[in-house]
Structure 1
Amino acid sequence: MKEYSSMDTIMDTKLSTSYHVEILNSLELSGVLSHKLQLKLNVPVMLMRNLDAPRLCNGTQLRIVKLGQNILGATILTGVGKGNSVIIPRIPIIPTDLPFQFKRVQFPVKLSFAVTMNKAQGQTLQVAGVHLENPCFSHGQLYVACSRVSNAWNLHIFAPDGKTYNIVYILN
C-alpha cells in the first residue's frame, strides 16, 4: 500500500501565517479530494474530475496498475476507453466556497468498491448487487439499478423482509 498526501497551499501569501498547513490538510470539503489517499495495485478507483473527455470523465472507473510518485498508471474499466491504459497525474483543485483561497494538489481519484445508482447509469456490469435497506427515493432509480446486468442470475438484491418501495410517476 502506498499513501499519497496532498500538497496544500494558501493562494494569498498575506494569509499564509493565519492558516497553517495542518489546518489546510484537515479540511474535508465537498468537491475537494481528501488530503490522504491510500492505494494498492489492482484496486478499483473512480475518477472524480474530467481529464480527457470522453475517455476520462468524472465517474469513469479505473484499475490501478502502477503507483508512481506523481502519476498513477491505470486501466479503464468502463466507458468509451474500456481496456485502455492511461496515466493519471496529480492535479490542482481550488475550492471557491471558503473565505480564503487555497490550492490542493492531489490525484483526482477515490476508492470505488461500490457506486451509486446514478453513477451506474449507462454502464453494463457483469455482476451487480443492489443494497435496498433504504427504499429508492427517486423516480426510475430501481429500474436503473436492476437493468445494469444482462443476465438476471447475476443480479443480487438485498432488501429487508424481501420488500422495498419503488417510486414511479404516471403522466396523464
Structure 2
Amino acid sequence: MVCQGDISIWFRRARGSERIEVLSGLLQLCNPLELRFIGTCVEDLAKKDFVSLREDELKANDTAQLLELSKGSIFDDRTRSKLLFSVSLLHSLNTVCAHVLYEVLSHIQAEILQHQVYCMDGKSHLLNPNIVDDILLLFTMSTNHPAFTFSERQQLYSIFKNVERLIAEFLAKVRAHSYILPLN
C-alpha cells in the first residue's frame, strides 16, 4: 500500500534532480489521455509565471545568448543559474539551441576533473551542496529534455554518471584525508 502522505513528504524533501527524475519516469508510464490531462494542468500552473519568465525564455532559445555560457565556469553562480534557466525554458523543438547547450554541458566533466586536481587543499566548490545540487539538476533536466537528440541525451547521461562518480570520489577523498571543509 502506497501512502500519499509519505510520497508528498519524500517529494518535498528530495533534491530537484531527484524530483525531476521521478516525474520524468512517471510520465513515461502514463497513457496518452493521462498525459494530455497532465499537460493541461501543467500549462495552467505555468501561466502564472509566463510574464516574469518571458525574457529568460527568449534568451534560453537564442543561440547567441547560449554561446556566451561557454565562456563561464560551472562553478560561477551566474553561469550555473543561466544554464539552469536555459535548460528549463528551452523549447521542446529547439534542437539548434539544445545542441549549443550540449556542447557547453559536455565540457563540465573536464572542468570538474581540473577543479579536483587543483583543489585538494580542502577548499572546493564541490563541498558546497548547493553547487552539487545545481550540477545534478542541470544534468537530470538535460538527459530528460526532448529538445536534445537521442544521441545527445545518451552522451549527457554518460557524462552525468561520470560527474556523479567524480563528485562522490572527491568527497570520499576529502573525508578520508580529514580535510577541514570550508565552503567557498
Return the TM-score normalized by structure 2.
0.22
Structure having the larger proportion of residues in strand: 1
Name which one, 1 or 2, has greater alpha-carbon Rg.
1
Q: Calculate the TM-score normalised by the size of structure 1.
A: 0.23
Q: Which has the higher helix share?
A: 2
